């Protein structure tokens, strides 16, 4: 069957950045499973997989706008070093939760100066063109329960909230125990 909205799809994939470096990949025997048409995966990859069938292989280049977005300069901020009291050695690459009006936002330290620390709250893949090599391994119809929850259920995950690395925008409780 062909991939359509409400298909449960299993893919093997390799993800390279624009320099050709592999930055992510699925593992042998552990494909990425997602529910098509429910924004479980980035829009650019989802739309490229529409109408594909088991066994199809494709290379997809996804612009930032259809992946993790462009870099938002407003999310890059300089913070006085005194806000990091209790942190012994501040280093580039360290991750923190910044409390904002919108709730906690994960940030990464990108620069440490004498009294100011630069942190970046953009997604690590923001601004990047993502090059996927994808192979479709399995396609099936979603169950009524999966459609209700907006994500797939797998045996490995004990039924609910499965999907491994699938980004679930709803987060938190998925409505089943």
Identify which range of 44-52, 107-115, 119-127, 160-168 contacts Zn ion by CB under 5 A: 160-168
CB crowding 6-23: b at 16 or more within 10 Å, else e: ebbbbbbbebbeeeeeee
Q: Does 149 bind Zn ion (CB under 5 A)?
A: yes
| Shortest CB 8 distance to Zn ion, Å | 12
CA nearest neighbour of 23 among 140, 124, 151, 143:
124
Question: How many residues form the binding site for Zn ion (CB under 5 A)?
Answer: 4
Contact between 49 and Zn ion by CB under 5 A: the answer reads: no
Could you give the CA distance from residue 14 to residue 7 in angstroms, rounded to a whole number?
Answer: 21
- Given the complex with Zn ion, which of 16 and 36 has the nearer CB atom? 36
Only segment of 111-119, 120-128, 132-140, 157-165 that touches Zn ion (CB under 5 A): 157-165
Q: Give least dist CB 153 to Zn ion, A.
A: 6
How many Å apart are CA 36 and CA 141, to the nearest integer? 10
Distance CA 67, CA 129 (A): 8
| By the rule CB under 5 A, 160 interacts with Zn ion | yes
Between residue 29 and residue 48, which ones bind Zn ion under the rule CB under 5 A?
Answer: none
Phi-psi region of 165 (alpha: psi -120 to 50; beta: other; left: phi over 0): alpha
Residues that bind Zn ion (CB under 5 A): 149, 160, 174, 176
């Amino acid at each position: 069957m062909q991939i359509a909205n409400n298909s449960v799809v299993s893919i093997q994939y390799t993800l390279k950045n624009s320099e050709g470096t592999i930055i992510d990949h699925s593992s042998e025997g552990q494909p990425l499973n997602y529910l098509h048409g429910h924004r479980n995966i980035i829009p650019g990859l989802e739309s490229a997989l529409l109408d594909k069938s088991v066994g199809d292989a494709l290379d997809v280049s996804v612009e930032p706008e259809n992946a993790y977005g462009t870099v938002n300069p407003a999310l890059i901020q300089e913070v006085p070093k005194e806000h990091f009291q209790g942190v012994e050695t501040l280093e580039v690459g360290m991750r923190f939760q910044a409390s904002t009006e919108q709730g906690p936002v994960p940030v990464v330290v990108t620069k440490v100066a004498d009294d100011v620390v630069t942190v970046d709250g953009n997604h690590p893949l923001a601004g990047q063109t993502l090059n996927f090599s994808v192979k479709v391994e399995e396609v099936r119809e979603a169950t009524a329960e999966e459609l209700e929850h907006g994500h797939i259920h797998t045996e490995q995950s004990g039924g609910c909230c499965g999907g491994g690395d699938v980004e679930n925008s709803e987060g938190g409780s998925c409505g089943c125990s």
